Amino acid sequence: MAAIDVTDDEFDGVIANSDVPVVVDFWAEWCGPCKQMSPHLEAVAEEMAGKVKVAKINVDENPMTGSKYGVRGMPTLMIFKDGKVAATHLGAMSKQAIADWIKQSA
């Protein structure tokens, strides 16, 4: 399953109603590292389908969620389990690093 785009309005529902951990990518259009990491995140979303859900939220278009979780730099990845933050990573990662981080944290 590919990564899904979520908005401020949808965010809590996506996180709370998931039966698997949710990896959230907080990104912005102007963020070069975000764009570099995006294909890696999509690949991980496909490979780990059924084990985790991957959601992306554009912080410029949806400022409330990033603010709520204290996101100050891009890209920021967070893993949510049972509706709560289980892990946070700031900065771009390779596909393998993303997969390893998810396996360790989720």
Q: Which domains does the chain have, with CATH numbers?
A: 4-105 (3.40.30.10)
- 23-76 tens-digit pLDDT: 999 999 999 999 999 999 999 999 999 999 999 999 999 999 999 999 999 999
Active site residues: 31, 34
pTM of the model: 0.96
Q: What b/e sequence results for 62-91 when a residue is b if at least 16 CB atoms lie within 10 Å of its CB, and e otherwise?
A: beebbeebebeebbbbbbbbeeeeebebee
- Percent of the chain scoring above 70 in pLDDT: 100
Pairing of strands 22-27, 76-81: antiparallel
The Cα 47–Cα 85 span in angstroms is: 22
> What's the confidence (pLDDT) of residue 96?
97
